[in-house]
Amino acid sequence: MAPSYKLTYFATKGWAEPIRFLFSYGDLDFEDVRIQHDQWLALKDQAPFGVLPMLEHEGRKAGQSVAISRYVAKKVQLAGKDDWEDLEIDAVVDSIKDGCLKISAIRAESDEEKRKAIKNNIVKEVFPNMLKCLERLTQENNGYLVLGRLTWADLYFVSLSDHLDIIAEYKVLKDYPNLEALKRNVLALSGIKKWVEKRPETSF
């Protein structure tokens, strides 16, 4: 039987990887559809809000990576136990997303010199500010980002962290021992380990 979840994204990790991590953690079977940019042009009008990733489930479609991640997190019991816990998780996730979104300014700049300056600012200012804050949280929360236990915020962060390494051109977590340990622990979770071993190799 085909999986009941179909996730469509480009042939990269990108904003779909947190969702793929969540499905894999919970051992929920999903169809991992990877399209080329020229296929996207034909599909764009069918996607809610014209963005990928897109989730299809029981004949319904939804877009937006964080929204889909939160939905899957509830299915695999990595959400909060009450509304305030959900608020705390959501706040960490949105802070990580805000930091990662700044990366897109690099691509948006066509002037080579300016692009270098933006990238330099992101690597030297944006990343350290974000990581210092996350390192402190992880230290205060029993090795996790929030609530003293594993939540989807941890999977969200670890699934995107390779991308930070690529932008910075070095292992950005090396100065943050608590975040490094968190990454190791998440990657050692049985469902995640299996996923990382079997996922298609892509450079970003």
Query: Binding segment for a copy of itself among 22-30, 45-53, 148-156, 163-171 (CB under 8 A)?
Result: 45-53
Phi and psi at residue 30, to the nearest 5°? -145, 150
Establish if 57 lies at the interface with a copy of itself (CB under 8 A). yes
Q: Is the peptide bond before 128 cis (omega within 30 degrees of 0)?
A: no
Among 10, 34, 86, 119, binds a copy of itself (CB under 8 A): 86
Comparison of 44 and 184: residue with beta carbon closer to a copy of itself: 44
Residues 6+ apart with CB under 8 A from 128: none
Establish if 112 lies at the interface with a copy of itself (CB under 8 A). no
Residue 121 vs residues 103, 126, 129, 153: alpha-carbon distances, Å:
10, 7, 11, 25
Strands (E), 53-203: 54-57, 60-63
Name the one residue in this structure whose structure tokens are 């009450």. 82
Report in angstroms how near the CB of residue 38 gets to a copy of itself at its nearest: 20
The binding site for a copy of itself (CB under 8 A) comprises: 48-51, 55, 57, 60, 62-64, 66-68, 70-71, 74-75, 83-84, 86-88, 90-95, 101, 105, 108, 129, 133
